[in-house]
Amino acid sequence: MLPKDAAQNGYALNMIDLRAMKDNPEPMRASQLARGNDPATVDQALAADERRRAALTAFETARAEQKAFSKQIGSASKEERPALLEQAKKLSENVKALEEASNQAAEEAKKAAMVLENLILDGVPSGGEDDYEVLSQEGAPIRDFTAEGFTPQDHLDLGIGLDAIDTDRGAKVSGARFYYLKGVGARLELAILNAALDTAIAHGFTPMITPCMVSPETMSGTGFLGEHSDEIYYLPADNLYLTGTSEVALAGYHTNEIIDLSAGPKRYTGWSACFRREAGSYGKDTRGIIRVHQFHKVEMFSYCKPEDAVEEHQKLLNMEREMLAKVELPYRIINTAAGDLGSSAAQKFDCEAWLPTQNRFMEVTSTSNCTTFQARRLQIRYRDTEGKPQVCATLNGTLGTTRWIVAILENHQQADGSVRVPAGLRPYLGGLEVLEPISKPGK
């Protein structure tokens, strides 16, 4: 059920801007359609809101009548009072029933509104996973290994040769899609994450080590308990969820607060372990550490005024470009199609690095503009120039993660199985320029 007085304070309906949707429902219908969702859910949410309003009005009217009637009892004579008290009892029972009905209508309206995903921005392509728009191809040129005279190894073979990745023992200890990073593998991950943290700090982001477990309210507030909730690990004994990104904890940090944006956006960067069940990915990227259950990530997160969100989104994308330049990877930037967006994202740009052994681009980082979707759910606001509370926008983007090891090993490998360390990571590896393979008998 909703918190006390939820139906009266509008708590249930802060997931989306229902007032704007009521005035003009067509943009949301078109957005749902572009995502591959049923546009009828828009009308269902609006109808549920109307029922909520009617139930609330009936409750408030009856409660006002009850209060007015109560005043008569105090001035009534001894003879009149028993009949008045009996009538007051009936009024009280009616008010209680109407309050329950109002709360139930608010709960139903909340559920109907929760079905709606964020309104996509203009320029987001319609369609699914394969309907993205390529915006640019950047970074170092894609290497011609044939011209160099050798066949490239994939990241797992390279990692085994470097004694850096051990998936066999990961599976032995924890099951499929788990692994050990060891030696230069562990050092390489820490180098990537520390470089990302330094980059974020240089751009004014406050570094944070975030919780890896959050409440259902926080997980739901960020939009992760929708269609893809089966991707999330749930701990029923504690009623907590393991986060798949520190975005969740960073978004929840200012829940139910009015924050100060007078000096510009609030920017945080979270370092955390991340956990994903990878449900539905059976048979996909099973080799190596591309798609795994546990990894580390440095995530950017911004709170800003809605009118500044597009510019802030470009800032996050440019920081990702800066990091990809440090590790010298060939990559492209795509504008993700609506049907491949998470429920909270209004637009998402993916940076995909070239994976030579698979002859394809692989996502290594992304950045999403969530507009006011998450902040509405989590009740995060700021004061405008007139001092009135307004809902802020939230944005997120990955600045470095375990998966980058895959692209770095494959793109910087050499014929003898060694791997050249990108110049931008050398300070984080004690000046090491080349990762050398280790020859040893067996495991």
Domain membership of residue 196 (yes or no) is yes
Do 87 and 173 reside in the same domain of the chain?
A: no
35 and 154 co-located in one domain: no
52 with 191, same domain: the answer is no
| Same domain? 71 vs 204 | no
Residue 320 domain-assigned? yes
Same structural domain for residues 175 and 87?
no
Dihedral in degrees, nearest 10, Cα atoms 61, 67, 68, 71: 170
Classify residue 426 by burial, with Cβ atoms within 10 Å: 0-12, 13-18, 19+. middle
273 in the same domain as 174: yes
Binding residues for ATP: 276-278, 292-295, 363-366
The domain boundary, picked from 57, 78, 113, lies at 113
Sign of CA dihedral 128, 129, 131, 136: positive
pTM (2 d.p.): 0.89
CA distance 210 to 250: 7
Domain identity same for 101 and 208: no
Same domain for 326 and 366, yes or no, is yes
Distance CA 75, CA 68 (A): 12
Domain count, the chain: 2
Q: Does some domain include residue 327?
A: yes
Instruction: Indicate if the pLDDT at residue 376 is higher than 90.
Output: yes
Together in a domain, 136 and 108: no
For residue range 341-375, what is the model confidence (pLDDT) as tens digits? 999 999 999 999 999 999 999 999 999 999 999 99
* 357 located within any domain: yes
Residue 226 pLDDT grade (very low, low, confident, very high; cuts 50, 70, 90):
confident
What residues are labeled active site?
Answer: 276, 291, 363, 366, 403
Residues 300 and 312 sit within 8 Å (Cβ to Cβ): no
- Give 441's DSSP letter: S
Whether 141 and 19 share a structural domain: no
Q: Predicted confidence band at 280 (pLDDT cuts at 50, 70, 90)?
A: low
Q: Give the number of C-alpha atoms closer than 13 A to the C-alpha of residue 315, restricted to the C-beta side.
A: 20
Q: Is the dihedral of CA 326, 422, 400, 280 positive or negative?
A: positive
Please report whether residue 290 resides in a domain. yes
Binding residues: 245-247, 276-278, 292-295, 299, 363-366, 396, 398
294, 243 Cβ separation under 8 angstroms: no
Q: What is the DSSP string of 159-187?
A: HHHTT-EEHHHHHHHH-TT--EE-THHHH
Query: What angle do helix axes 81-114 and 40-75 make, rounded to 10 degrees?
Result: 160
Say if residue 215 is in the same domain as residue 100: no
349 and 273 housed in the same domain: yes
Output the domain CATH number for residue 275.
3.30.930.10
| Per-residue pLDDT at 279 | 65
- Residue 5, CB half-sphere, CA atoms under 13 Å: how many? 1
What percent of the chain stands above pLDDT 70? Answer: 92
417 assigned to some structural domain: yes
Give the rounded percent of residues in the chain with a pLDDT score beyond 90: 80
Residue 229 burial (CB count, 10 A): 14
* Domain that residue 417 falls in: 131-433
Closest by alpha carbon to 214, among 227, 205, 225, 206? 225
Which residue, chain included where needed, has tokens 């982001």?
A: 205
In the DSSP assignment, the letter for residue 126 is: P
The separation between the first and the last C-alpha atoms of the chain, rounded to the nearest angstrom, is 56
Q: CATH code at 29?
A: 1.10.287.40
